[in-house]
Chains A and B, each alone.
Chain A
Amino acid sequence: MTTVTLNEIMTVTAARALKNSDVCFVGIGLPSEACNLARLTHAPEITLIYESGTIGTKPNVLPLSIGDGELCETAVTTVSVPEMFRYWLQGGRVTVGFLSAAQLDKFGNINTTVIGDYHRPKTRLPGGGGAPEIATSCGEIFITVKHSRRAFVEKLDFVTSIGHGDGPGHRQRLGITTKGPTRLVTDLCVMQPDPETCEFQVTSLHAGITRQQVIEATGWDLKFASEVSETPTPSNAELDALRQLKQRTQEAHATA
């Protein structure tokens, strides 16, 4: 077995957060990788939903877009996009939304819209897509993002989708009844919100990572839980499944 990379620990750890009984709304990129790894390892019965309308999809390779043909071909059913957002997401059928972010803050609010001012942006990003309603309609939200000061900021340039807003009670004041972000997995650590403050704090560090490394990669005054453990190491079976999935994906997307 070759050395385990931090990215692999991130994906395996994110995958482990999902259960067989989950109905998961999958974001493209890192979330898609983690969700399919969960399906290929400990959670074969998980229902994966992509916003293109595919419900219960089982792709053999990771889709490049949220609407690759294989998602539809392997799905239990494919519905129209209005039906997806109205009946399935807004209707409360989804237990977990799995998102990534360009920027996020300590309350798990996410920006994927702009860097800089909205009307005169320094960098115009793609925008929210499904995220604003995924963030409020799914039972809970898992987030996976690579750790950097550029991504982990004190103040977002734009709030694309709400996490815990400005802290305790904010979601409730807006009439939101779901939990919001409950878990954040990066390539350095795992974070969960402090039940009192709703602020993400480090609950486990990946093997070989120090507190100082995480502090240096975080743009806010980072807090640690009273007990910080070491993130459980990926098993050989998980690593094999992940590496094979990535290999198949790379080969599939290299040619038309």
Chain B
Amino acid sequence: MAQFMALDAAIANTVRDGDFVALEGFTHLIPHAAAHEIIRQGRQELTLCRMTPDMVYDQLIGMGCARKLIFSYAGNPGVGLLLRFRDAIENQWPRPLEIEEHSHAAMANAYEAGAAGLPCAVFRGYRGAELADVNTNIKSITCPFTGENLAAVPAINADVAVIHGQRANKAGDVMIEGIIGVQKEAVLGAKRAVITVEEIVDEFADISPNAVVLPNWTIDAIAVVPGGAHPSYAHGYYSRDNAFYKDWDRISRDRQLFIAWMDEHVLKSSPQAFRVHGAGGK
């Protein structure tokens, strides 16, 4: 059952060294504040999983928190490459990073299989794609009805799913809307779930009966962190800070500049620093 707590307690209670962690968000609702808390608490040897690792994974990797990355697109969309990720792959800095690389279709299907309690996902994919030659977790399966050869990948079941949502009600149910990515699947497929939200409301008013709501009994911890997705965005609350995504290219280009930025804005900071970007900052 979901418990409301401060972000530091929420992360301390759910994320352990060596965990398989999925901090999800497809451009929208990326849990930046939660990722910063994981870095502040010095978690190590994490297996990080996400379809679109962007700035927060660049930060976790650059700070040496990750042993392995499972992903399908590791870039700063519209800007360029992920430079801390590149440094880890090309120069093993600050430590070697093992990778397991998929396509988006494969990971989306694998998250869904994880939520569905299946051991693997089956889909029509990877035909003629060389990833199948370098990733031993990409296999094929024959349809028993038609004989069609299909791709198969293992289901994704994280130890912990970490996401950011718009709001929780007092009972601890969480609603997300807009570009919803694979967050519902990541949470339902994981052993534990931590969610940061913009605000708590008495009850969800005027929402569609089909809105994406995660009931309180699917969640372990909820922390209220207004602005907690910045520089990503929260639909209905604040916009994507595209100028900052562009600036990350400069900050992450140089190891010393990166370390200095992380020291000032993460290690010596707190979840309250996000407030200026959220509802309270308006």
Query: For the complex, would chain B's binding face be called helix, strand, loop or mixed by DSSP majority?
Result: loop
A128 touches B243 (CB 8 A): no
Nearest chain A CB to B158 CB, angstrom units: 16
Q: Chain A residues with Cβ under 8 A from B246's Cβ?
A: 64, 253
Q: CB within 8 A of B131: which of A51, A73, A128?
A: A128
Evaluate contact between B26 and A90: CB separation under 8 angstroms: no
Size of the A side of the interface (Cβ < 8 Å), in residues, is: 61
Q: B181 CB to closest chain A CB, in angstroms?
A: 5
Q: Out of B109, B148, B231, name the residue touching A85 (CB < 8 Å).
A: B109
- A144 contacts across to B, CB distance below 8 A: none
Whether a CB of chain A sits under 8 angstroms from the CB of B111 is: yes
Chain B residues in 8 Å Cβ range of A51: 104
Within 8 A of B (CB), among A40-85: 51-54, 63-69, 71-73, 78, 80-82, 84-85
Are A253 and B73 in contact, with the CB atoms below 8 A? no
- Cβ of B126 under 8 Å from chain A: yes
CA distance A169 to B28 in the complex (A): 41
User: Is the C-beta of B184 less than 8 angstroms from some C-beta in chain A?
Assistant: yes
Contact B26 A28, beta carbon cutoff 8 Å: no
Which of chain B's residues 58-94 have a Cβ closer than 8 Å to chain A? Answer: 71-75, 77-79, 81-82, 85-86, 89-90
- Point out the residues of chain B lying under 8 angstroms from A36, CB to CB: none
Kindly state whether residue A22 has any CB partner on chain B within 8 Å: no
Q: Is B130 an interface residue (CB 8 A)?
A: yes
**Cβ B134 vs Cβ A118 within 8 A:** yes
The stretch that binds B, out of A12-20, A171-179, A214-222, is A171-179
A130 adjacent to B109 (CB under 8 Å): no
Q: B105 to chain A: which residues have CB within 8 Å?
A: 85-86, 89-90, 130, 132-133
**30 A-B contacts, Cβ less than 8 Å apart?**
A28-B78, A52-B179, A65-B27, A67-B26, A67-B77, A67-B179, A67-B181, A68-B240, A69-B235, A72-B179, A80-B180, A85-B109, A85-B123, A86-B123, A89-B105, A113-B101, A118-B134, A122-B90, A123-B86, A127-B101, A128-B104, A130-B104, A133-B105, A136-B127, A137-B124, A174-B128, A175-B127, A175-B148, A253-B246, A256-B241
The 6 A-B pairs with the shortest beta carbon distances in the complex, nearest first, are A67-B27, A162-B128, A126-B75, A129-B73, A65-B77, A64-B78
